[in-house]
Amino acid sequence: MSENSIKILLIDDEEEFINTLAQRLEFRGYKAETAPDGQTGINLLAKNHFDVAILDLMMPGLNGIDTLKQIKNILPDLPVILLTGHGSTKAGIKGMHLGASDYLMKPLDINDLITKISLALGK
């Protein structure tokens, strides 16, 4: 699978962050869409095909862990990479126990993200 055909969904309440990140990913040949909260993200995932989801853990309303649980209920094979601004590895490890592929801490390095996307897709 080439970068051009990889479709990524970014879920975070920090819209400015995910919009910018989406643009940067597009510069690198990925197709990226954004969702401002967990529920919107789940809906998008249910209706459309995505290869990878990037999910923030700290969100108002449906938080990252609950969103992850619901995603894994409907799409158990979808790779999900978690983002955390809390600096704690605990939440990331908990997410990985629930089926997340990997986790990254904010502020993130775009190259680290791309590496983790590649790893999640088995490249």
Q: Which residues would be at the binding site for another protein (CB under 8 A)?
A: 14, 16-17, 20-21, 23-24, 27-28, 58, 85-88, 105-108, 110
Q: Can you point out the beta strands (E) in the chain?
A: 7-11, 31-35, 52-56, 80-84, 102-105
Residue 58 Cβ vs another protein, minimum distance, rounded to whole Å: 7
In the complex with another protein, which residue's Cβ is closer, 24 or 72?
A: 24
In the complex with another protein, which residue's Cβ is closer, 43 or 88?
A: 88
Residue 47 Cβ vs another protein, minimum distance, rounded to whole Å: 26
In the complex with another protein, which residue's Cβ is closer, 21 or 55?
A: 21
Residue 28 Cβ vs another protein, minimum distance, rounded to whole Å: 8
83-89, Cβ contacts within 8 angstroms, sequence gap of 24 or more:
83/12, 83/54, 83/55, 83/56, 83/57, 83/108, 84/56, 84/57, 84/58, 85/56, 85/57, 85/58, 86/57, 86/58
